[in-house]
Amino acid sequence: MAESARDGGADRPLNGIRVIELGSFIAAPTAGRLLADFGAEVIKVEKPAAGDQVRGWGLRRGSTSMLWRTLGRNKKSVTIDLYRPEGRSLVKELIRHSHILLENFRPGKLEEWGLGATVLADINPRLITVRISGYGQWGPYSDRAGFGAVAEAMGGIRYLTGHPDRPPTRVGVSLGDSLAGLHAVVGALVALVAQLRDSQAGFKQGGGETVDVALYEAVFSVMESLVPDYSAYGFVRERTGSILDTVAPSNTYQCADGKWIVIAGNSDSIYRRLMIALGRNDLADDPELQGNAGRVRHRDKIDGAIREQTQKRTLDAVMNILVKAGIPAGPIYSSADIVADPHFRARKMLETHRVEIEAGREEEVLFPSVVPKLSNRPGGIRWVGPSLGAHTDEVLTSVLGMRPTELAHLRQLGVI
């Protein structure tokens, strides 16, 4: 697999920013991936011989998963054993020459390794340390183990996911981890902007920052007015399945070919256009249904009328009617549907990269592209997740100035 850049990426917005990623699994690696997409030099430190366990998650063939190829893209893989004092010394030197440190160990692990806040501040006073954990760096639960699934439960989203007559369910992806990664990037960039502002104002001292991201808080942050509704009205939101319980009509409907569509008639004018487009002028003109409150009271009647029409037509036929009428609607896509969709292609949301699927065998594989899209300095995928330790010699030589004999000695000891 080619691990060199597709393009030089000389004008990426985060060029010149060096990030040390000590994290594993999903949350911190998601943050590192986003920073790397926009030009940061992300040095991922992995355990020699083993690497990030995500390399083996979801394997169908070969020895390296497509999840790793996605989360590890644009990063430099360096193998260093953090459980060895020599390895920790190497990481300290890398931190000395970096801007951001990303980690998602349980609180106290960095301190156990002699990499606590005081030590890091002595090494690099301007270091931005991004710490991701299940419950945050302090509080009564901070020493508990916490993964994204647990965070989704405690943060409130699992309680609302699923149908009211069935148990709470997963949303289908590692949402808690991904949300934590996004918040980690926001925190890191805010800290970078603050440093830039301070330097422009003439402040020369310090400037370091610790960004504390708790997985459960990242989930809780997207729960809208869940708690205010409870606090103000004593109202506890429950699972509602596919409907939006405060607005009607907004639901999922099956079409004649067995495919599914989401239709959102969320405003008064859209509702009227929807009913007319589906040939139900009687419901469009019904005085009781002109406002959302009335439509919510008569949700079942409205949903039944919509369902009666969608079940007579294929998904494509329903979409044609609704698009012409300006109704927000969309098909429920599988991965195969996404790959076949022309809009994903036109927006360049799918990129082809050659990767080694099995030993000695490379294939063209589609990967999701970079989000968000910048007009002048866009991000890009220079390479997908590299092989374990692919950049160890390069990084230790270029960043720390180590000689080949030193590298050979550390490799013999099993430190790298």
Distance CA 286, CA 300 (A): 15
Distance CA 412, CA 400 (A): 19
Tell me if residue 309 falls in helix, strand or coil: helix
Is 99 exposed, middle or buried, given 0-12, 13-18 or 19+ CB atoms closer than 10 A?
buried
Selected catalytic residue, list 177, 245, 268, 303: 177
Which string of b and e fits 304-331 if b means at least 16 CB within 10 Å? Answer: ebbbebbeebebeebbebbeeeebebeb
Tell me if residue 224 falls in helix, strand or coil: coil
Tell me if residue 26 falls in helix, strand or coil: coil
7 annotated active-site: no
CB 116 within 8 A of CB 92: no
User: Measured between alpha carbons, how far is residue 124 from residues 23, 31, 187, 401 in Å?
Assistant: 19, 21, 18, 18
Distance CA 294, CA 272 (A): 13
Q: What is the 3-state secondary structure (H, E, C) of 257-271?
A: CCCEEEEECCCHHHH
What is the set of active-site residues? 177
